[in-house]
Amino acid sequence: MAVNVSDVVVKTAKGDEQRLGDLNGQVLLIVNVASRCGFTRQYAGLQKLQESYGAQGFSVLGFPCNDFGAQEPGSLPEIQQFCSTTYGADFPLFDKVHATGAKTEPYSTLTQTEPAGDVAWNFEKFLIGKDGTVLARYKSNVEPDAAELTGAIEAALAA
């Protein structure tokens, strides 16, 4: 059965609650991000995806996470400053989450996606269709510009 995130409530960077279903109609890429990871350079590619597809109804949603190697120790303002200054990233960043162990949303729902199980590392990606259904899950080593990912984004936008 397909996992749907429409009823999932997350905390924004300002501490407000946001229901992911409020974003239905858009294609989303949910990513657990970290500023001190070998994959941190993927911020640049994620920003490029945002710029390439944003006008078509696509958004990257970044969820800072300190679960893996303590690679995201900073406060949310520090993380936002780093992303903006270092990578020009302006896609939404949310409050810090736990993607493993005692998971917090959206990960307690997302990790039910096949193959089910905890997020393995920073920059794991979940592609969400316009109706809130999780379409695909990509491991950290799938680069933002990988054909399998951009092709899936384009297909979801066309659906």
Active site residues: 37
The C-alpha atoms of residue 14 and residue 69 are separated, in whole angstroms, by 26
Bridge partners, residue 137, by sequence? 126
Contact 64, 81 (CB under 8 A): no
CA distance 48 to 60: 10
Residue 58's closest CA among 16, 14, 28? 28
Q: Residue 144 contacts by C-beta under 8 Å, 6 or more apart in sequence?
A: 42, 45, 46, 48, 49, 125
